[in-house]
C-alpha cells in the first residue's frame, strides 16, 4: 500500500510537471490578438518578454514556454495569458504534450505509430492545412502582422511557382481569423474580352468583389458615364462596398502582371490602387481596405511614378529555399538525407520550391531515387519533363525570348538583355537578374536549354 501511495504521488507530480501547450489554433488566435493589441496600444511595436510579463503577471520563463509550444505550463497560466489579451481560453486552444504522462505507466511495448500523412502532389497553392507548406518565418510572420494595419498595401513579388499564391491564401486566412471580410481575385480567370475596355474591366472587377462579399450588385446605381470609369469605381467602393461592410476588408490580387500586356488599362487600374492606398492615410473609411498585390515580373511598362502602386506600400520578395529549408522539407517527407544530398538537389533546381517539392514527392513514393533525379540529362528530363516542355513551348511563342535565353545559356558570364525580355524570363523563373544582367537560374535549366537552344 505504501508503494501504491508513493506511486500515486509520483504520478500526480508527473502530471503537474507536464501541463498543457497551445494548439495551432490557439497559437494563431493568441498571436493575432497580441498583434492587434500591439497595434492599438503600443504603436505597432512588438512587446518585449518583460512587457508581456508585466501585462500577464507570468514569469518570463513561463511566457517563453507558452510561445515556443515545446513544454507544458499549467492551464491557469495559459488562461491568464489569454485574458491579458482579451481572449477566453477554449478547449480547442490547448492540448497535452505527446507523452501520456497522466496515465499509469505500462510495461514497455511497441506502440502503433500515428498514421502517416502522405505529401500532396505539388500543384498550385499549397493547401492551408498541409504539413508540407514551408514558412519563411521572417516573411510570413511579417505579412500576418502587417495585414492588421489600417490601409496597408503589401506587394509580393517572385517568379512563378515560388509560393506567392500559397502566401496570399495564408494572409487571407489570418484575416478570416480576425473576422475580417476577405476577397481573393485571380486575374487570369477573367476572359480576354474583359481586358479590352477599361470600363468593362472595372465593372467586372467591382462585380467580382461584390459577389465574394455576398452583396447584391448595384453597379447601375453608382456608375456614371459623366464621371468616367475610374471615379465610378472609386465611388462604388467608397459609397457602397465600404459602407455596407463594417469590418476591414482584405483584398488579395494575384497575377496582376497579366495586365502588363494591356498598358493603357494597367496604367489606369494601377493608378486607382495607388489612389485608394493614399486615401487610407487620411480617411477612415479607406483604412478598412487592406491590399495584397502579387506579381511575377518587374514592372516593365511605363507608369507615372506618382500613380504607381509599385513604389509605395511594403515590398515582399520571396527568395529561393535555402539548403536548411530543403533539409526541413526532406524531414517532413521522412527522408533522412546527408547535407551533401540536400545540397545537390538544392543546387540542381536553384532552391525553387515547386521543383524541390516535385522531386521529394516522387522520391517519397519511390518512383525515382535522388540519384536518378540528379542524373536528369539532355535526352531524358525525367520527372521535370512536363515542366521543361511547358517552358519551352512558352518560349517558342515569343522568338525574342528564345534568342535571349540562348545567349544566356551559352555565355560564361551574365548577359545584358533588353528590359522587357529580361523581366519576362525572370517571371518564368529561368534567369536571375542584376539590373539588366541575366544569368541562368539553375543547373536544370542550363542543362536542358543549352542543348535545345544552341
Tell me the average pLDDT across 433-449.
92
pLDDT at 50: 75
What fold is seen in the domain 2-92?
Answer: 434 Repressor (Amino-terminal Domain) (1.10.260)
Domain formed by 379-454, architecture: Orthogonal Bundle (1.10)
Round the average pLDDT of the chain to a whole number and report it.
Answer: 86
Q: Is the pLDDT of residue 117 over 50?
A: yes
The residue among 60 and 207 whose pLDDT is bigger is 207
Q: How many CA atoms lie within 13 A of 271 on its CB side?
A: 16
How far apart (Å, rounded) are the C-alpha atoms in residues 269 and 149?
23
What percent of the chain lies above the pLDDT cut of 90? 61
DSSP three-state, residue 292: strand
Instruction: Give the model's pLDDT for residue 269.
Output: 95
Give the mean pLDDT of 101-105.
38
Query: Taking a C-beta distance cutoff of 8 angstroms, is the pair 129, 25 a contact?
Result: no
Query: E strands along 325-382, which residues?
Result: none
Segment 372-395 shows an average pLDDT of 86
Question: What is the domain partition of the chain in residue ranges?
Answer: 2-92, 137-317, 320-375, 379-454
Distance of alpha carbon 87 from alpha carbon 11, whole angstroms: 32
- Stated as kind and residue range, the H or E segment containing 345 is helix 339-349
Give 109's pLDDT tier (boundaries 50, 70, 90): very low
Give the pLDDT band (50/70/90) at residue 44: low
pTM of the model: 0.73
Q: What is the mean pLDDT of residues 348-360?
A: 96
Q: What are phi and psi of 40, to 5 degrees?
A: -80, -35
The number of C-alpha atoms within 13 Å of 119 and in the hemisphere containing its C-beta is 26
CA-to-CA distance for 179 and 332, rounded, in angstroms? Answer: 31
Looking at domain 137-317, its CATH class is: alpha beta
pLDDT grade for 77, boundaries at 50, 70 and 90: confident
User: How far apart are the two ends of the chain, measured CA to CA in Å?
Assistant: 86
Q: What is the 3-state secondary structure (H, E, C) of 67-111?
A: HHCCCCECHHHHHHHHHHCCCCCCHHHEECCCCCCCCCCCCCCCC
Amino acid at each position: 500500500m505504501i508503494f501504491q501511495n508513493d506511486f500515486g504521488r509520483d504520478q500526480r507530480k508527473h502530471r503537474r510537471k507536464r501541463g498543457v501547450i497551445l494548439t495551432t489554433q490557439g497559437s494563431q488566435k493568441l498571436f493575432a490578438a497580441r498583434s492587434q493589441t500591439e497595434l492599438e496600444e503600443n504603436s505597432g511595436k512588438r512587446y518585449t518578454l518583460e512587457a508581456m510579463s508585466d501585462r500577464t503577471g507570468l514569469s518570463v520563463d513561463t511566457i517563453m514556454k507558452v510561445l515556443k509550444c515545446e513544454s507544458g505550463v499549467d492551464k491557469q497560466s495559459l488562461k491568464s495569458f489569454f485574458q491579458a489579451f482579451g481572449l477566453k481560453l477554449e478547449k480547442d486552444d490547448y492540448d497535452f504534450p505527446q507523452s501520456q504522462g497522466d496515465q499509469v505507466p505500462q510495461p514497455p511495448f511497441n506502440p502503433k505509430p500515428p498514421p502517416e500523412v502522405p505529401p500532396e502532389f505539388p500543384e498550385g497553392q499549397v493547401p492551408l492545412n498541409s504539413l508540407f507548406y514551408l514558412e519563411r518565418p521572417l516573411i510570413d510572420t511579417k505579412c500576418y502582422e502587417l495585414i492588421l494595419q489600417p490601409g496597408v498595401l503589401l506587394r509580393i513579388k517572385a517568379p512563378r511557382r515560388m509560393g506567392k499564391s500559397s502566401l496570399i491564401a495564408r494572409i487571407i486566412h489570418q484575416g478570416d481569423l480576425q473576422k475580417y471580410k476577405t476577397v481573393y481575385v485571380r486575374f487570369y480567370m477573367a476572359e480576354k474580352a474583359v481586358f479590352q475596355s477599361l470600363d468593362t474591366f472595372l465593372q467586372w472587377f467591382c462585380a467580382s468583389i461584390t459577389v465574394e462579399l455576398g452583396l447584391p450588385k448595384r453597379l447601375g446605381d453608382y456608375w456614371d458615364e459623366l464621371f468616367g470609369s475610374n471615379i465610378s469605381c472609386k465611388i462604388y467602393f467608397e459609397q457602397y462596398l465600404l459602407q455596407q461592410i463594417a469590418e476591414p476588408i482584405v483584398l488579395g490580387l494575384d497575377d496582376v502582371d497579366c495586365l502588363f500586356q494591356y498598358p493603357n488599362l494597367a496604367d489606369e487600374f494601377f493608378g486607382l490602387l495607388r489612389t485608394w492606398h493614399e486615401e487610407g492615410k487620411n480617411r477612415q473609411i479607406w483604412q478598412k481596405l487592406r491590399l495584397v498585390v502579387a506579381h511575377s515580373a518587374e514592372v516593365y511598362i511605363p507608369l507615372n511614378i506618382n500613380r504607381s502602386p509599385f513604389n509605395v506600400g511594403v515590398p515582399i520578395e520571396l527568395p529561393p529555399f535555402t539548403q536548411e529549408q530543403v533539409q526541413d522539407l526532406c524531414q517532413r517527407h521522412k527522408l533522412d538525407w546527408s547535407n551533401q544530398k540536400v545540397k545537390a538537389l538544392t543546387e540542381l533546381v536553384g532552391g525553387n520550391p515547386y521543383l524541390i517539392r516535385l522531386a521529394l514527392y516522387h522520391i517519397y513514393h519511390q518512383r525515382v531515387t535522388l540519384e536518378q533525379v540528379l542524373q536528369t540529362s539532355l535526352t531524358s528530363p525525367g520527372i521535370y519533363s512536363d515542366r521543361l516542355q511547358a517552358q519551352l513551348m512558352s518560349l517558342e511563342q515569343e522568338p525574342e525570348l528564345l534568342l535571349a535565353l540562348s545567349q544566356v545559356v551559352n555565355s560564361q558570364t551574365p548577359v545584358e538583355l533588353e528590359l522587357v525580355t529580361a523581366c519576362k524570363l525572370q517571371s518564368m523563373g529561368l534567369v536571375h537578374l542584376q539590373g539588366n544582367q541575366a544569368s541562368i537560374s539553375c543547373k536544370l535549366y542550363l542543362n536542358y536549354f543549352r542543348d535545345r537552344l544552341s
